Structure 1
């Protein structure tokens, strides 16, 4: 069973499932190696309208160097279920009681009605010094079109000073970075003038490659820019639009199979 197979069992029949950047009920859980900084997909977190929450490890998690099962999910082959969001992930959602909660939603470019699940998906559940993050499984519509929003990674190290010059809707470009010491498959996100701004998240590289191989136009644009008051990982939100090859489903196939006992 793959990520795509499991995702199809989640009942999301509303039109919101196809809205760019909205959660489709499945988040890939990733772990970042504390030394190499390489990000690896290790699990799948799902949320259904009626079925609560489910966490499963991916089969590939067992081969990730130095990765150990999370304390709250000690068995690699077990499916964990809960009516409420597991603490490992709920602690990554800001409490609405905090005085800066509305500001946080604005930084994520979400409205006041955004659900905790949508906040988790958009923010990637990232926190300073942490090794865990989540990423929404991109959704491809029945006509093959695909659209997603994501936060640009590595802004602090690459292009933070150039962000104030960006306008909403401004076109962006991609540039391979084969000399990247962490991931030779890395893709730089650059301004229309070619100035580096940051990186495509590692977990999205496979999706970007699939869209580029479709032979149809792919468009990357600025969606939202935050000021220096925002954490570096929230500074730049972009939108990727394109089409997948015939029959394409993101994060599917044997490499994305979930572990079972």
Structure 2
């Protein structure tokens, strides 16, 4: 099964993010399960989070044979005339793309709430991790950096660096061109694990997988693939906040 986590952003002034839920899904078998995680209790204690209307009880296992509306409504409808272009931006094959893959790349963001979804990163049998995401923060870098990003080519390698004084998040993971131009950041959900892995001398590389220019919003311009070997005792997304609540 594929796994997505759900993150909730607290209101001002903290605007902190908490992983509050987990969706396990098998599209082929029509099997979907949602459960809250320990992060939901942390969010409740620290920022007043309440259970989502779609899932009103913390300690309950929700099961369905179709994707829950909370998630389904965050994916563009296949009958939209721009659906093919949408999948093209995501570098997905229309013949095989499913809603979980789409959500993994888009985050399912909506202007009407404070939720975001992201995929579970798993360590493979060979001791490596890999994930794909769109470059974050391109609209917030300098004009010169945006112009530099416009010259990126598919297959180009980028540098991965830990930032320790990001004004919004404290720690962050920067993505830079080989000549050290900061062009954006990795998603916030990767920061803690990447920081830990890099401090333990993991070898993490970033590669430009797709460039979308004509008509694509900033959030869909540059698709990145992150790969790397990590220490034997390192397991991504294994902290307490990701563990599901008992039923």
Structure 1 residue 193, shift from structure 2 partner: 1.7
Give 1:146's aligned residue.
129
**5+ residue gaps, structure 2:** none
Asked if the contact 1:38–1:182 (Cα under 8 Å) also holds between the matched residues in 2, the reply is: no
Give 1:38's aligned residue.
16
Give 1:14's aligned residue.
none
* 2:188 counterpart of 1:205: no
Asked if the contact 2:4–2:22 (Cα under 8 Å) also holds between the matched residues in 1, the reply is: yes
| Alignment match of 2:166 (pick from 170, 180, 195) | 180
| Alignment match of 1:97 (pick from 67, 79, 83) | 79
Relative to structure 1, is the Cα distance of residues 157 and 79 closer, same or farther in structure 2, using a 3 angstrom cutoff?
same
**5+ residue gaps, structure 1:** 1-9, 11-24
Looking at structure 2, the residues matched to 179 and 209 of structure 1 have their Cα atoms a distance apart, in angstroms, of 13
| Alignment match of 1:120 (pick from 99, 103, 108) | 103
Relative to structure 1, is the Cα distance of residues 91 and 208 closer, same or farther in structure 2, using a 3 angstrom cutoff?
same
Looking at structure 2, the residues matched to 110 and 86 of structure 1 have their Cα atoms a distance apart, in angstroms, of 22
Relative to structure 1, is the Cα distance of residues 229 and 66 closer, same or farther in structure 2, using a 3 angstrom cutoff?
farther
Give 1:192's aligned residue.
178
Relative to structure 1, is the Cα distance of residues 161 and 132 closer, same or farther in structure 2, using a 3 angstrom cutoff?
farther
Asked if the contact 2:21–2:37 (Cα under 8 Å) also holds between the matched residues in 1, the reply is: yes
Matches within 5 A, 1:1-261: 10=1, 25-35=2-12, 36-48=14-26, 49-50=28-29, 52-64=31-43, 65-113=47-95, 114-128=97-111, 130-158=113-141, 159-227=145-213, 229-261=215-247
CA deviations over 1:167-214 (Å, ceiling 9, x no partner): 111121233333222211112222222222111111111231243245
Give 1:6's aligned residue.
none
Asked if the contact 2:18–2:39 (Cα under 8 Å) also holds between the matched residues in 1, the reply is: no
Structure 1 residue 143, shift from structure 2 partner: 1.3
Deviates more, 1:245-254 or 1:106-115: 245-254
What root-mean-square deviation, in Å, do the aligned CA atoms of Structure 1 and Structure 2 show? 1.9
The total of aligned residue pairs comes to 238
**TM-score normalised by L of structure 1:** 0.84
* Structure with higher strand content: 2
CA deviations over 1:234-256 (Å, ceiling 9, x no partner): 12211111012114332124342
Structure 1 residue 47, shift from structure 2 partner: 0.4
Structure 1 residue 100, shift from structure 2 partner: 0.4
Relative to structure 1, is the Cα distance of residues 30 and 99 closer, same or farther in structure 2, using a 3 angstrom cutoff?
same
SS of match in other structure, 2:74: coil
**TM-score normalised by L of structure 2:** 0.88
Looking at structure 2, the residues matched to 51 and 105 of structure 1 have their Cα atoms a distance apart, in angstroms, of 22
